[in-house]
Amino acid sequence: MDELSPEILANIFSFLPAKDVASVSLVSRKLYDSTKIEAIWRSRCLREYGVLPIHKDGMSHRELYIKVLYPYGNILGLWQPQVASYGGLLQVKFEKIKRTLEATELLPPRDPDILSVLRRKPLFRIQLSDDGQAEVLCIGGNREPHKAEIAKVRQNEFTFRCCNPDLHKHPSGRHEDLLLAWLREESSAPLGSFHLFPHTQELLMMKFLILRQFNFNYQYCRIHAPKVSTQVPIKPGIFKGTYGAHGVELIMLSYEEHLGKAKAVKITGDPNVPAGKVSFQVDLNYWMILTVSQQYTVGDLEAIIPCSIRSEEVTKRPLSQPFRVPRNCHQRYHEVPDMCTARYHGLGQVAAHGFANPSFIPGHWIIFNEDLFGFLWLELMTLGVYHRVQEDLS
């Protein structure tokens, strides 16, 4: 190997895992020099962490890999904070221009506009300090970035801790002012407005108080994207949905194709049905075709008895049918289409406060198009509408 040129050695080493490259560098001075060639580390950054090549000036790919990606690269991706019943969605991406790892909270739209984009709230950043060492900075407060820590970095979990929670206090120093600022940020209507659903403001205040107890010290679990499914009514993914006084929440739609089932699991939750729990589930063998007259009231829909469809009939179902919101049904979203492509019997989960006495009640899963569906909770006389998240979550 000593007779090979450094460029050829570097090309060979680019196929090795980084730990093996480190071992090779101990063999001889020539091999050590060969392992410092950028092509090796450019390949490692891309293959192991999906980080595209950066510009030549400034930080090298070797420095990026050793000081940033190797210790912290496992936190790239989507994560769910373990914060009581509320959950959430955190995206960690590599910012090529800044050459930093940026963590951003992706929050549901303010109640009740499901077509609005997700709200972005920066949480922390990992960058190289002036002395060339990686540092974690909390950027979620009201003041300048400050020291934070990340620990227990594993494949599917990590913890984040702000080292100076006092910097998250309101500039006035008053806790009440921070609460009012948070309520204004979370509410789509002025405080005290009759447009807010009953108890919405009270629920928001309770959420604020519970979240503050964590003191910006969170544990995160990885969110795994559902596998791409074939021959399903609508592609799996993350959707924004309406949940009454709880506002807009995020759910993950996935399939168990071998069982012929679909399910929606909450990414963000509430004190009734928390994050991580099933919101509704559907047996895809129980589909239906309804006329407009069969949808006049919720009582008319409840009279339709679910019956399994024979497998040979599944391919014969029509692509579209009329849809009507029952006259005694409450809906949060007022632009529901009058046609749907499929309709199924399903079961929606309900529970008392604190996830007490959970149970599944009958409902209908209605597919409008590839990015929009609804779930009609028959006993609650409520139509929840869900729109696909359009942001890049790769």
Range of the domain at 260: 225-388
Q: DSSP string spanning 271-340?
A: SSS-TTSEEEEEEEEEE----GGGGSSHHHHHTS---PPPHHHHTTS-S-EE----TT-EES-S---SEE
Residue 278 in contact with residue 264, Cβ under 8 Å?
Answer: yes
Same domain, 276 and 321: yes
- Tell me which of 148, 165, 182 is where a domain ends: 165
Q: What is the pLDDT of residue 6?
A: 85
- In a domain? residue 60: no
Q: What is the pLDDT of residue 307?
A: 77
List per-residue pLDDT tens for the chain, 394 residues long: 878 888 888 888 888 888 898 898 899 888 888 888 888 988 888 888 888 877 766 778 888 899 999 999 999 999 999 998 999 999 999 988 888 999 999 999 887 778 889 999 999 999 988 788 899 999 987 778 999 999 888 889 999 999 998 888 887 777 787 888 878 788 765 555 544 455 777 888 889 889 889 989 999 999 998 887 778 899 999 999 999 888 899 999 999 877 789 999 999 999 999 999 999 999 998 889 999 999 999 999 999 888 765 545 554 555 789 999 999 898 877 789 999 999 999 999 999 999 999 999 999 999 999 999 999 999 999 999 999 999 988 7
Global model pTM greater than 0.75: yes
Same domain, 214 and 240: no
Same domain, 370 and 289: yes
Same domain, 173 and 101: no
Q: What is the pLDDT of residue 194?
A: 41
Same domain, 187 and 250: no
Which residues are registered as beta bridge partners of 162?
148
- In a domain? residue 182: yes
Same domain, 241 and 374: yes
Same domain, 248 and 356: yes
Same domain, 229 and 364: yes
Count of domains forming the chain: 4
- In a domain? residue 131: yes
- In a domain? residue 394: no
